[in-house]
Structure 1
Amino acid sequence: MRRYFGTDGVRGEAGKPPLTPDFVLRLGQAAGAYFRQESPRPVVLLAKDTRESSDLLEAALAAGLMSQGVRVEHLGVLPTPGVAYLTKALKATAGAVISASHNPYRDNGIKFFGPTGEKLPDETEEEIERLLEEDHPTRGIGTVGDFREAERMYLDFLLGYAPDLTGLRIGLDLAHGATYRMGPRLFQRAGAEVMAFFNTPDGRNINKACGSTHPEALSRFVLELGLDLGIAFDGDGDRVQFIDRKGRLFHGDHILYLTALAFGEEGVVGTVMSNMGLEVALKAKGLAFHRAQVGDRYVLEMLKAKGLHLGGEPSGHVIFRRHHTTGDGLLSALLTLKALRIMGGDLADWYEGLPLYPQVLLGVRVRDKARVMEDPRLGEAVRRAEEGLLGRGRVSVRPSGTEPLVRVMVEAEEGAEEVARALAQVVEALDRG
């Protein structure tokens, strides 16, 4: 069992346990000690997003790594998937990112990538946590550098998959995050006319009423300005959501459906949060559909196990395994637009081509999500709710891997809102004890 690592690295409120400078220094020492076992001269690429706490945590992590003789190459502000790509392309020992993705600015986090560009497996994270309990005296003097070619290399990689977007008028919501520079440059280089929004980070506005988790403003801009579509990223650039010309959210399930057909996939991996409408539509086209746990690492594991190449989540975290080792919002956007060129029509047509079941998702803030989830009364409430849907819907209650929340999802032809709110009340009551 991992104590600090969740579904997407170590995450929490910056400055409070576990994300204090002292802890991050020790995490750097433990990770550095592990990487020394993998290479006599380890090199770790280190990037961050635009949160005000990222500089402090970056310095602490770098110091811990260097105390173990690790060479640290700073990449500056760069999307998380860019670090994954460069770690593999440059044959580095590992990559690390200071980011809390779509969370508010007060939160931050640390996630690592291995030399293949994939997130560290659970077993490696458990080993690093074990090493956290040991003392790690200085083992050599690590050095530090600034790899100034990082953004150019990543941009060139992405442009290799870009369709010709000449004539397309696109609104970009950069979430005041890690894509704020690269996003406009990428789509302009591909030929699009770009209007950039939420691209002035100040350390505290990342994801604030914007980005892939808050696409309402972008929807309004698309309608008011008569744009062809909108594209919204999250704070670290590993997710993407679209807005069609009618102002509707074209999310991860839509992306999976369109790209699976365009690229001739044999099957798709979703998660327990994927809409039943996606499953029904794919099976009607003769494509297999599998559900993994929530989290891109689990989607990737199932893709490998099933021999498939496309998977993702409704949140817009999509993995195109033929092209990258992790979810990449910028790449997913390009490949979705490429799929449109292949299949014809626009996002509005494909939105209407995938009927989705009504879905209600509620996040219930709790003090102890593990205790709530283990309470047998919650399991009984879920069982009764599922029975009440009479086989015409689904229920999923799960702990968030990155926040102190229990997420309640109900999907049904009718009555989803009522069932979800009833389950949320059960969660609240169990949390109060």
Structure 2
Amino acid sequence: MTSGPAPDDLLRTLAPQVVGVLTRRYGDFCAAEDAVQEALLAAAEQWPRDGVPDRPRGWLVQVASRRLVEQIRGDAARRAREERVAADRSAPPPDAPSDDDTLTMLFLCCHPALTTPSAIALTLRSVGGLTTAEIARAFLVPEATMAQRIARAKAAIRASGLPFRPPEPAEREARVAAVLHVLYLVFSEGYVSGGDTLQRVGLAREAIRLARLAVRLLPGDGEAAGLLALMLLTDARRAARTDAAGLPVPLAEQDRSRWDRAAISEGVALLERTLPRGPAGPYQVQAAIAALHDEAASASETDWPQIHALYEVLERMTDSPVVTLNRAVALAMARGPAAGLAVLDALDGDPRLARNHRLPAARAHLHERAGDVPAAVAAYRRAAELTPSAPERLYLTARAARLTG
């Protein structure tokens, strides 16, 4: 044993590997996942006291296997399967390389057949190694609610009969897209919270950790690298995004000396390595936009024409009204607020933005730049009514009050 506290990163790295070993050995992903969660809890309790084992993966496999065997023996209906498993000597040793298992876990948890909330919850628990309680706290829901969500995801996997293996080549692309989409949503939830705080740092960091894992497991995938670059380049501004009271600070007003230059350099380097490989995907384009923001010495030196051009490319790729909204803001910065407002007007009838605070918030900003105070105040107040974020509500209300005072 080695002394010192049990490192969370080690447990989270080993979690999907151990689930993979047990799933192949016992043939039941859902039971294996439950047993590994118990082993992780045991490790979190024992390792800080007793020290990290010399073979931590083997320790977890042993403890989880014992838990799983106890479950099987306690259920008479599973005795036949237990006998078959006991006779199967094909399983590899516990400490065998298991990158393939981790990638398979990502594919399984992010299967397109699962609902997005279920895929997110299952990925954080089975691949991220987070407990149900930790995931519930991150998403600001009761633990019982999150437990039900995870249970539904596992029930869907059990009912579907999905095999524990990498997807066939024909379905791999769709499955990779689902994995990256889930990781993007986890990061977005952490970076822009809908609760009492603007951002949940722990959740965003976990998304970045999992994105690094995806890049390692998918070394030739440009979009995996693009997603990691996007996360790094966006999260680099985290320290400057809020003031002392926790209220948002607009990008143009942020203290850029507080931006994380190491994260920016890493994100830019990722883009420089991957963009020349072939056609860029949506995550790479978004990362390129983030890089233009991060590399500008000041707001006035931002290359807004280039950002607008990239949003035009992204708009053709995604057909997203939020992308069009961002393009409108970039156009306003490049050619004046009237040009941007004209684009925003075309979004008024889009049902996807009917109750979204971003549209009136963008309109308020452009009206303010144009000097139309009454329109800006009305739009700020409308955005404040719609936002689910308490800090954003206070910020938008204060902007309206400042213009009227």
Q: Which has the larger share of strand?
A: 1
Q: Which has the larger share of helix?
A: 2
TM-score (norm 2): 0.31
TM-score (norm 1): 0.30
